[in-house]
Structure 1
Amino acid sequence: MTTRVLVPSGVLGLGFDRKALARGVAMKPDIICIDGGSTDSGPFSLGAGVSKYSRAATKSEWRTLMAARAEAGVPLVIGTAGTCGTDSTVDWMYEITVELARELGQSLRIARLYSGQPIARVAQALQAGRIDPLTPAPEIRLDDLSNVVALAGAEQIQAALATGADIVIAGRTTDTATIAALPLSRGDAAGGAWHGAKIAECGALCSTNPTSGVIMVDFDETGFTVEPLAETAACTPHSVSAHMLYENSDPFRLYEPGGHLDVTGARYTALDPRRVRVEGSRWIPGPYTVKLEGARIAGYQTTILAILRNAHYVRNAQAWIDRLTGFLTSEIETRMGLTTGDYGLEFRLIGVNGALGGLENRSGDPVEVGVLGIITARSQAEAGEIGKLINPFVLHYPLTDDEELPTFAFPYSPATTDRGALYEFALNHVMHLDDPMAAFRLEVSEIGAEVPA
């Protein structure tokens, strides 16, 4: 049996080619699948339980996909809803869906798959020896975690689809799970299902026009065929095979709940200038584990930004920062009683080495240098107080004792900005499950244009 999966984009919120999407709907897919996020942007979304992407952009694109789903008459699935897939972002996505159902006049069955993990469950699994570290893995501390999620696999998405849902809003999932679920449940080749899902996870990134978004993947009993749907895009054996390297430490193996994909024997064949056929991928069953991700507050931050334009200070920016840092460290200890173990103070020279640090290799002096100061402390009040203390010195401190007092530019007033909580990743482990649904829960709702939330 052939299973046709339409993937509108690599992530909801980044946009896609509307004409290409319409072309995909006309090709009669069996399901529409899209990713909602990842850990790419760091731990903040997971720690705070909020979406990185704007609500307006999310709602606009989701409206288009809900209309496409209604036209195609097939399920619509989003994984890792709201960037991080916490229970709160699943509910956020559900609220948007209810609003749109009313606006579009749609009556829907919606399945919500929650992947948030109570600390008690994690503690119990840890005590039972059912949690293993990945590399690298921090020491597990359960007392201060703000959010923990488990990455769902195909089985959990299949359970959600089995409810007869028109729309599945899933919490944290592996990038491939939403795409592989239906082909696997319909008996298509397991190796091809997982491999094709990996290739399709980022939409048209596997094509010659990555920003076009929309692709179609046909799965069957021996492999899969992938085709981009934008007129300006094409898939080639090179562009398709190269995607196994994307966000994957091993270009030949991909680990998922319940086993791993092995593509060492995969063959990539161009069927025509746009489509690629792939066969020979293998699925190797293994223990059923789900990856755990967690985040905690690591402090609170305040930033300050000044701009050096005087050529003398631009040439000696690092020396100025070194001298300034030593002075400020002494001032903070004298005036606030804080030692360097109580807070963090870092300066980055934007335009010199702000991105690469000591690895930067450039010649010549820039015209101007941005000086970004980052203060991390135990509370926002403390970080803000340090920011106010160092403010006049960042803007006026001289390079040497015998120089006139300089004045530097700053782009806004006040020069300091309180950033709030700083989060850090606190789990990189897998948890063993006897039942794939043991760490997940499903809720199914019937909604319609006239049904209150």
Structure 2
Amino acid sequence: MKKELRIVSPNGHLGFAPTKEESFYLAKATKPDYYCCDSGSDDIGPTALGSDRSVSMYRWQKHDLELMLLAAREQGVPMLIGSAGDTGANSRVDMYVQMIKDIAKEHRLPPFKIGYFYSEVDKDYLYRKLDENVPIEGLDNRPNLTKSDLEKTDRIVAVAGIHPFMKALDLGADVIIGGRSSDCAIFAAPAIREGFPEANAYYLGKVLECASFCAEPYGAKESVIGTITHEDVKVTAMHPEQRCTVASVAGHAMYERANPYYEYFAGGMLDMKDCTYEQYDEKTCRITGAKYYPAEQIKVKLEGSGKVGEKFIGIAGVRDPYTLQHIDDVIHFARAQTEKEFQGKEYHLHFHMFGKNGVMREMEPVKNITPHELGIVVEGIAKDKTLAEELTLFATRQIFYARLPEVKGTAGTAAYLIDDVIYAGPSYEWTMNHTVPVKDPLELFDVHIEEVN
């Protein structure tokens, strides 16, 4: 049994913006045991999943995969990627597997084994669960899943825990490309498989998932290394000017949580309320005291996306002082005129105002001060593309035509606008943020392995 394990995390979201090479090569020089990276998130919104595409540039994704693959193969240590291609959909897994093969061929790498797993869930599987009266519980105050929710859904992914990564490692994989995955599981899986405590392993994943976001001063896309032992977790910044401090690591561990001391996984709960943080050396923070409680029943998170319609965007600006003082009336007029013109039609219309809520003065917001100028973005969505364009054009122009009681005669002083609208592509919504109980943690994940020559 190993006394410690060292994992490098080079990027908090592989390919979203390119990994910084200087700190990566510094990390590589320390010869870590694993190269692990998360490549996706639901933070990007539902459109990428629904339309089955990436939001990251292919060139950036290849850059990051190439850095990791060449380093891992040179050392002969495993490389793990989760949530391939931003969403973890099947097509994104296939894309990453092909990229790995192409990079290996380009650099004439010796043969190695690649493992990969899919995360997409067939709607019929969930229809059967509902017919069997299995509760598919909503997260974040969503009601339980209904057949109506399923009907509105175009694509579903299950969020993998540690199990498909561990299975691929057991099958001898040197490189693993995962479908949609829990961020922490990508790092926790090798540590748990190597015999380290689950509490420390999941905390290791929690602190490494966003790479250098756990360091100070703030700097993204820089490498950090996590070291796990049977007693503690240590995290070290690789960039010469960054440090992992008590404040930066504790702050990152507890960000974005309704209850900052707990993190829930498919297999249980990480309890961080008794964690102790200490400055181990200038660039390293040491953490002890994490606890882990296995779940009585394994539940897998599901993310689903469905198309709402086609989207156009209009842009208007307002500088006239009187109009600025009555901007709420202007928007009310534009909305009312649009409702009258498109009565009986199904659409969604949003007015986003930038600059309305005061100005910044010495870094403090000053409220109730009329701004010099407002930018207004009009978002129109309808199932029919022509209707969506007409809707957005009409609503944007009504800002220009608003009838205010003290305006007498002269037109054109209230607003200026781009006298056209921009097609923004199809618009999607999250239709599913739920958990489904499973008997086998691998039930929804199809693991494959093959030789790359």
Return the TM-score normalized by structure 1.
0.90
> Which letter does structure 2 place at the counterpart of 1:350?
F
> Which letter does structure 1 place at the counterpart of 2:388?
A
Give yes or no for the alignment of 1:410 onto 2:413.
no
Deviation of 1:242 after TM superposition, in Å, equals 2.0
Corresponding residue for residue 424 of structure 2: 419
**Post-superposition CA distance 1:23-44 (Å, at most 9, x none):** 2112121110011011112111
Corresponding residue for residue 196 of structure 2: 188
- Quickly say closer, same or farther: Cα 1:345–1:209, change in 2 above 3 A: same
Corresponding residue for residue 277 of structure 1: 286
Give yes or no for the alignment of 1:345 onto 2:354.
no
**Post-superposition CA distance 1:62-94 (Å, at most 9, x none):** 222222222222111111111111112112222
* Counterparts of 1:20 and 1:348, CA distance in 2: 39
Give yes or no for the alignment of 1:55 onto 2:91.
no
* Counterparts of 1:263 and 1:55, CA distance in 2: 37
**SS of the residue 2:39 aligns to:** strand
> Which letter does structure 2 place at the counterpart of 1:182?
P
* Counterparts of 2:395 and 2:251, CA distance in 1: 49
**Post-superposition CA distance 1:107-142 (Å, at most 9, x none):** 442211111101111222333315333332244321
- Quickly say closer, same or farther: Cα 1:130–1:29, change in 2 above 3 A: farther
> Which letter does structure 1 place at the counterpart of 2:188?
A
Deviation of 1:179 after TM superposition, in Å, equals 0.2
Corresponding residue for residue 11 of structure 2: 9
Give yes or no for the alignment of 1:163 onto 2:163.
no
* Counterparts of 2:292 and 2:353, CA distance in 1: 48
Corresponding residue for residue 68 of structure 1: 71
Corresponding residue for residue 210 of structure 2: 202
Q: Which moved more, 1:186-195 or 1:307-316?
A: 307-316
Give yes or no for the alignment of 1:241 onto 2:247.
no
* Counterparts of 2:306 and 2:357, CA distance in 1: 29
**Post-superposition CA distance 1:404-432 (Å, at most 9, x none):** 23264334xx6112223211111121111
* Counterparts of 2:201 and 2:370, CA distance in 1: 53
Deviation of 1:403 after TM superposition, in Å, equals 2.7
Corresponding residue for residue 45 of structure 1: 48
Corresponding residue for residue 327 of structure 1: 337
1:375–1:387: 8 Å Cα contact kept in structure 2?
yes
Give yes or no for the alignment of 1:99 onto 2:102.
yes
Deviation of 1:245 after TM superposition, in Å, equals 1.4
1:189–1:223: 8 Å Cα contact kept in structure 2?
no
1:3–1:182: 8 Å Cα contact kept in structure 2?
no
* Counterparts of 1:50 and 1:198, CA distance in 2: 27
**SS of the residue 1:57 aligns to:** helix
Q: Return 5+ residue gaps in structure 1 as ranges.
A: 449-453
> Where in structure 2 are the equivalents of 1:117-266 lying within 5 Å?
117-128=121-132, 129=134, 131-138=136-143, 139-140=145-146, 141-211=149-219, 213-266=222-275
Give yes or no for the alignment of 1:364 onto 2:374.
no
Deviation of 1:247 after TM superposition, in Å, equals 2.6
Corresponding residue for residue 79 of structure 1: 82
Q: Return 5+ residue gaps in structure 2 as ranges.
A: 360-364
**SS of the residue 1:40 aligns to:** helix
Q: Which moved more, 1:131-140 or 1:237-246?
A: 131-140
What is the CA RMSD across the aligned residues, in angstroms?
2.3
2:357–2:367: 8 Å Cα contact kept in structure 1?
no
Deviation of 1:390 after TM superposition, in Å, equals 4.4
Give % identity. Answer: 27
* Counterparts of 2:303 and 2:450, CA distance in 1: 28
- Quickly say closer, same or farther: Cα 1:439–1:104, change in 2 above 3 A: same
2:357–2:368: 8 Å Cα contact kept in structure 1?
no
Return the TM-score normalized by structure 2.
0.90
**SS of the residue 2:226 aligns to:** strand
Q: How many residues align?
A: 436
* Counterparts of 1:63 and 1:16, CA distance in 2: 11
2:7–2:226: 8 Å Cα contact kept in structure 1?
yes
2:333–2:402: 8 Å Cα contact kept in structure 1?
no
**SS of the residue 2:281 aligns to:** coil
Q: Which moved more, 1:255-264 or 1:312-321?
A: 312-321
> Which letter does structure 2 place at the counterpart of 1:293?
E
Deviation of 1:259 after TM superposition, in Å, equals 1.1
**SS of the residue 1:436 aligns to:** coil
* Counterparts of 1:269 and 1:393, CA distance in 2: 59
